C-alpha cells in the first residue's frame, strides 16, 4: 500500500511538471525601453465610410516596439451609424472592450460545447465593458443613429485578427467553391458570387 501511495505521488508530481512545461515560457526580457517610440492619434476618428462602417486603429508591437514581450496591445474602434466590426477572432488574445461614445450590440459564440455554438450577446452603453475570450468568434454592431467609439485592450502584443467572411470568401488563392457550397449548404453559384466581392479589411 505504501508503494502505491509513493507511486501515485510521483505520478501526480510528474503530471504537474508536464503541465507546467506546456505553458508559454516567460519573456526573454522584462521590458523594452524604446526611447523613440511615439504613437499618437487615438483621439482622431478613423474613416468609417466603407461597406462595413467601422475602422480599427491598432496600437500593437508593429506601432510601438516597446510592447515587445509585454503581452498587451490596444485598439480604437470607430463605428458609423449602423456600422459593424464584422465577426472575427483573435487567435492569440482575449479582448476587453469599453464603450466611450454611443451604444454597441456585441457578442461572441462559444466553440462546439455541450450546447453547440452558443451566442452570448449584450447591448452596451457608454462606460459598459465586455470581454471576448481568446480565439472565439465575436462582433460589435452600432444599432444607433449616431457614431459610436470603443477602446479595447488585448492580451497579446500581436493578437492577430481573422475576419471570418474575408478569410472564407476572400482567400488567395480562393477556396474551391464546391467545398464552400457543401460546408455552408449553399448553391455553388452563390458561393462564386460571394468570392467575387471586395472584402473590406478592417
What does the DSSP assignment read for 127-179? Answer: T-EEEE-TT--EEEE--SSS-EEEEEEESSSS---EEHHHHHHS-SSPPPHHH
Residue-averaged pLDDT of the chain:
87
* pLDDT score of 120 more than 80: yes
**For residues 27-55, average pLDDT:** 80
pTM: 0.81
Among residues 70, 35, 79, which one has the least CA distance to residue 153?
Answer: 70
**For residues 73-100, average pLDDT:** 97
Report d(CA 154, CA 157) in Å as an integer.
8
Amino acid at each position: 500500500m505504501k508503494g502505491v501511495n509513493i507511486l501515485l505521488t510521483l505520478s501526480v508530481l510528474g503530471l504537474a511538471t508536464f503541465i507546467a512545461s506546456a505553458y508559454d515560457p516567460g519573456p526573454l526580457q522584462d521590458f523594452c525601453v524604446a526611447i523613440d517610440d511615439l504613437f499618437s492619434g487615438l483621439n482622431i476618428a478613423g474613416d468609417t465610410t466603407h461597406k462595413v462602417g467601422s475602422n480599427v486603429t491598432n496600437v500593437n508591437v508593429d506601432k510601438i516596439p516597446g510592447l515587445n514581450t509585454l503581452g498587451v496591445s490596444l485598439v480604437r474602434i470607430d463605428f458609423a451609424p449602423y456600422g459593424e466590426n464584422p465577426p472575427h477572432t483573435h487567435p492569440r488574445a482575449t479582448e476587453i472592450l469599453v464603450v466611450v461614445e454611443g451604444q454597441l450590440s456585441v457578442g461572441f459564440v462559444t466553440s462546439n460545447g455541450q450546447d453547440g455554438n452558443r451566442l452570448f450577446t449584450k447591448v452596451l452603453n457608454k462606460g459598459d465593458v465586455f470581454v471576448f475570450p481568446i480565439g472565439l468568434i465575436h462582433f460589435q454592431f452600432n444599432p444607433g443613429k449616431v457614431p459610436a467609439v470603443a477602446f479595447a485592450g488585448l492580451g497579446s502584443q500581436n493578437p492577430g485578427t481573422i475576419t471570418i467572411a474575408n478569410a472564407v470568401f476572400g482567400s488567395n488563392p480562393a477556396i474551391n467553391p464546391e467545398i464552400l457550397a457543401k460546408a455552408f449548404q449553399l448553391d455553388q453559384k452563390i458561393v462564386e458570387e460571394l468570392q467575387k466581392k471586395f472584402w473590406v479589411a478592417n
